[in-house]
Amino acid sequence: MELNLDAVGFRAEPFTVNWTDKDAILYALGVGAGQADPADDLSLTTENTAGVAQQVLPTFGIVLAQSGLLRRIPLGEFDRAKLLHADQRIEMTAAIPPEGAALVEARLEGIHDKRSGALVVISTSASHAETGEQLWRSRLGYFIRGAGGFGGPPDPMSGWSEPDTEPDTVVTTPTRPDQALLYRLSGDRNPLHSDPAFAARAGFDRPILHGLCTYGVVHRALVGELCKGEVSRFHTMYARFSRPVHPGERLRTETWADDVGVRFRTKDETGRTVLDQGRFDFR
């Protein structure tokens, strides 16, 4: 296992991603839209409901921009079973249309030494393929277990402070036992989330939920709770993935309000934190 430290600063060749209204709906279903009641979230799950305009969840942009991303950046050699999503940020600059195409640019921002592993940071930016209007920006971290100890720089501090009061709101969100099997149809076919043997090789007793699925489930719940379902009110979201979630677990998200949005933390049904240092900000 040897990472290509000289690749820091590398810019991938811009690439185009395309999607249809069906793709946007499939993603919404994959993060639990309509799960509790099919009459809920119709703006996310249908394109032909009378008087309801289709909306696209902003986190769908992350899935689009990260399609095949690792193949486009010369990171070096590593075991894919050791790769975990470490953190994720998304910032919206315009609404994603129900169907269309976007030009995506990606840059390897850094490879940080975490001793027990390496933190790889990649940024992406997506613009409407026809108009050039910027749609979203994202920044993600991948943690590669066992790839640390090379003496590189540590990862930067987040600036997040631990809340010292009771949460202002608590949002409880279920996940389905087959959630990962549905979510993977949006593009992430990593067998860690479907193949028991592969999951065992990675050190898990059974397949785990995609980190971005957990992220999307919480995002959808917070858009519903804090933005009243209006995706245009959403601006940015960030969270660290601190513990894996198994499909079927119930999630509990605690939020603390401030002037521009909320800080949040998500726990599993045993009380262990699965998303940490969260921020969800409005326009």
CA 158 to each of CA 161, 187, 218: distance values in angstroms, whole numbers, following the listed order: 9, 29, 20
Mean pLDDT of 117-134: 96
Average pLDDT of the residues of the chain = 93
Mean pLDDT of 267-271: 95
Mean pLDDT of 36-54: 95
Mean pLDDT of 137-162: 82
According to DSSP, the residues that pair with 9 across neighbouring strands are none
pLDDT in tens, 99-113: 999 999 999 999 999
pLDDT confidence band for 158 (50 / 70 / 90):
low
CA 164 to each of CA 64, 161, 167: distance values in angstroms, whole numbers, following the listed order: 37, 9, 9
Percent of the chain topping pLDDT 90 = 81
Residue 20 belongs to a domain with what CATH number?
A: 3.10.129.10
- The residue type of 259 is D
Mean pLDDT of 129-152: 92
Q: Is 246 annotated in the active site?
A: no
Confirm whether 92 is domain-assigned: yes
pTM, two decimals, is 0.93
Say how many domains are in the chain.
1
> Which residues constitute the domain of residue 198?
8-282
Contacts of 213 (CB under 8 A, 6+ apart): 30, 31, 175, 179, 180, 183
Q: Is 188 annotated in the active site?
A: yes
Confirm whether 1 is domain-assigned: no
| Catalytic, out of 23, 112, 155, 193 | 193
Confirm whether 3 is domain-assigned: no
Mean pLDDT of 150-154: 76
Confirm whether 69 is domain-assigned: yes
Confirm whether 38 is domain-assigned: yes
Whole-number Å distance between alpha carbons of 89 and 38? 29
Confirm whether 245 is domain-assigned: yes
Confirm whether 275 is domain-assigned: yes
Whole-number Å distance between alpha carbons of 126 and 104? 4
- pLDDT, residue 186, reads 95
- pLDDT, residue 67, reads 83
- pLDDT, residue 283, reads 84
H runs (alpha helix) in the chain: 21-30, 42-45, 60-65, 69-72, 179-183, 196-201, 211-226
Confirm whether 255 is domain-assigned: yes
Whole-number Å distance between alpha carbons of 4 and 110? 11
| Catalytic, out of 87, 113, 188, 268 | 188
pLDDT confidence band for 155 (50 / 70 / 90):
low
